[in-house]
Structure 1
């Protein structure tokens, strides 16, 4: 677990006084008991008491805070709802947190244009609630959608169980309004089908708060499907289940959702939500079809045929909307359900080619023996986005360190089979060392060049996501001993 660095009280008083001269006192939190709730995000293993937390009420106050921080050379950490899982919102002992929680207004919903304009503190699910009367909704649906905010979704390029058909945040955001470190407002993208100039919107989405502070977002809305049904298919081994995923896509079917859970995750979820899962199966697939009744019936029949041919040992199909929601409730509650069988868990996030699902799952299974820890696997099988939950007990000396090493080995395996170290959780602090595994020094320098273009003083969320040369050198020393890579006994497919 990370140790917190003490905050310099004299510096805190200086910065707080400068901030209070520009923004109302109600927007500034500087006492330790007030800033304590902001010491971490969803990656609670890493904690740091912030020097100051700011909660601006409007865009003008965001600009004022940025100006003060730039003038005093104070690092800035943007924060949404704090549901992120990679330490992207981890504060700095000498820095200011800018929380967008109070920028929580839905500015307008335009049903004919099928878009909504919202502030960054609006919850993901609240957008769909506002669009519901027009039979529209916002498609990206991360498991934390009841709490996570659209600003955080933009920062992390969040996805969800329906991202295979409807895309990630980057595919569903049309425009962002951004406050820069220079204290100016820029707009990236637009409300038309195309915007002039470089596609900086795609660069900004997923930039983890390193390029600017989002103050407004325009999102796409899509029509609610007339109906939807889910297949729950059981498999006697994970290899067959993994190959079935590739078979569905190879058949030319793009399900609305295609999720996979192994036996460990099914057994931890079922007593918690009573979703009706087959807890004897080595793996289960959840495959959803949506659209008109005719389209859904046809797609369900096609998927059923493919899954049976791929070796499914049992197939169940939702017959009512409540049964469909019950099937999904298990997948959506996989993370909290982990607390039923383990004091702590470490949620990883990597993406691999679909064809490699089976071999990576076998590799993770072998790593469980190597590291002496259990792992429950739940993931967006359709796009190869893995979410292994490494189970450990932080009260036992050395277990967290083993969990971290286990996670690093999984990410290294993802890279080795042609994947990447993250899909939707971001790099943050959690995977910054693994960036040294995936990218060359020249590639990392290019990332830094983009950051400097937006943030010349390097004050926005510094020391995250992009590792420095020194960090990669130190990580290389840890990874290589006598010319031999650690975990050499792990499978190299």
Structure 2
């Protein structure tokens, strides 16, 4: 690989200052919110779809891996360039291109911050529903790549429910538009195939997102319980009563104590768990839903229920949930955030077994998660500087995922697979299942230079070995790329 020639060619596309090759610059792009790191060989910051296409053609001509990156907020290493190569950063592609209120859609670029879209249409009475906890930092392109959810996905659905169309650049540089403003286009659901594919099928350069009318009214409650089991059983009872809250979140005692130390929200230090519950919709009837939720929480021995009466009080109730992960830094220098899903009815059982695993491994777990849809987020607290501790953490994380699968759940609710969960895919899928996925990927992106070593276990094809294999593998395909 002649880095000088490649750097020159890339600079001719985007300009010299938007091609990064200095080790200090590359290091900034070597990590995400997981505990993984790897250096790209080049970071390129395009401004247009055409530039992305030309970058892809150059990378492919040299047999280099291509890794798209949004804001680097992912927890599974989806944006880690494990095979080096060319990282395409979307910090400059962050525009709201079109807002079409009659059709309730917006067309945006992938580098747009999630919350910025809602802010852009709030004055017109609309919002973008998927709201990951990192929505003030994460990008919509990254959300599409991992099919992100968020606290309000219980009622509104995950990212896939809000994307109507995509512009993508394929591995040969072809620019393709799939989907459109009509929600029921005939043919295969290619938009659905690309959502959650973590950049392994193509690189997203434009997104047609569904806009949702802002609810007429919102009611927000915080219910405090003595035990996690009481709170867990209240969750199932609320849904069983026919009430689907917009959000239904849980925090355990460990998380509550960290949040209280940081933000002084008045959480009792002897409580076992809390539920943050929000319902929204037409004003008429909303108080009735709130009363049903109150009664159910009391039935399961809630010791205190707080209700927000103003927007400021609502924001304060949400403050603890939105800032919980950061507050855990008071308890340990590092955390390992896992993401699995279990049926709501299994929450008490699974959380009890998870607690037993924490005691078995001698590592504390702080839980803060989307209880309404059973999407667990156990945070294993540890110290990376202690020799061998991270290996123990990884083993504990794997056992938690196995626990989820054994309970009838899955290994990811919204964080994706990335590299963190590759080894756990066989817990959920047979080898025949995985082979069908490999066939689909091979049909869309046969050279596998797009975000290699993600989503599907490939054994020795991944990691450092792949650096040497990519060029030979691409060359062997017999294609002419540029």
TM-score bin, normalised by smaller chain:
over 0.9
Matched, 1:197 2:169: no
C-alpha contact (below 8 Å) 2:60/2:171 kept by paired residues: yes
C-alpha contact (below 8 Å) 2:82/2:453 kept by paired residues: no
What is the rounded CA distance, in whole Å, between the counterparts of 2:382 and 2:461 in structure 1? 27
Gaps of 5+ in 2: 463-482
C-alpha contact (below 8 Å) 2:14/2:45 kept by paired residues: no
Matched, 1:180 2:166: no
SS in 1 for 2:408: coil
CA RMSD of aligned residues (A): 1.6
Question: What do residues 415-439 of structure 1 show as CA deviations (whole Å, max 9, x unaligned)?
Answer: 1111111111111111111112221
Matched, 1:40 2:40: no
Q: CA deviation at 1:471?
A: 8.8
C-alpha contact (below 8 Å) 2:126/2:214 kept by paired residues: yes
Q: 1:83 aligns with which of 73, 92, 97?
A: 73
Question: What do residues 120-166 of structure 1 show as CA deviations (whole Å, max 9, x unaligned)?
Answer: 11110000111011011111111111111110000011111111001
Shift of the 280–471 alpha-carbon distance from structure 1 to 2, 3 Å rule, reads farther
1:464 is matched with 454
Q: 2:220 aligns with which of 219, 227, 230?
A: 230
Matched, 1:356 2:343: no
Question: What do residues 296-315 of structure 1 show as CA deviations (whole Å, max 9, x unaligned)?
Answer: 21110111112222332322
Shift of the 276–409 alpha-carbon distance from structure 1 to 2, 3 Å rule, reads same
1:19 is matched with 10
Gaps of 5+ in 1: 1-9, 473-493
1:480 is matched with none
1:291 is matched with 281
2:154 is matched with 164
Matched, 1:382 2:372: yes
What is the rounded CA distance, in whole Å, between the counterparts of 1:272 and 1:471 in structure 2? 45
Question: What do residues 13-69 of structure 1 show as CA deviations (whole Å, max 9, x unaligned)?
Answer: 3432342344432331112122110011111x2111111111111111000011111
Matched, 1:405 2:395: yes
C-alpha contact (below 8 Å) 2:14/2:47 kept by paired residues: no
Shift of the 458–93 alpha-carbon distance from structure 1 to 2, 3 Å rule, reads closer
SS in 2 for 1:293: coil
What is the rounded CA distance, in whole Å, between the counterparts of 1:204 and 1:371 in structure 2? 38
Query: Which structure would you say has the larger RCO, counting Cα contacts within 8 Å and 6 or more residues apart?
Result: 2
Moved over 6 A (4+): none
What is the rounded CA distance, in whole Å, between the counterparts of 1:448 and 1:239 in structure 2? 41
Aligned length: 462
Matches within 5 A, 1:277-426: 277-426=267-416
Matches within 5 A, 1:249-264: 249-264=239-254
What is the rounded CA distance, in whole Å, between the counterparts of 2:364 and 2:54 in structure 1? 48
Q: CA deviation at 1:99?
A: 0.8
Q: CA deviation at 1:173?
A: 1.1
Q: CA deviation at 1:11?
A: 4.1
SS in 1 for 2:284: helix
Matches within 5 A, 1:72-151: 72-151=62-141
2:196 is matched with 206
1:49 is matched with 39
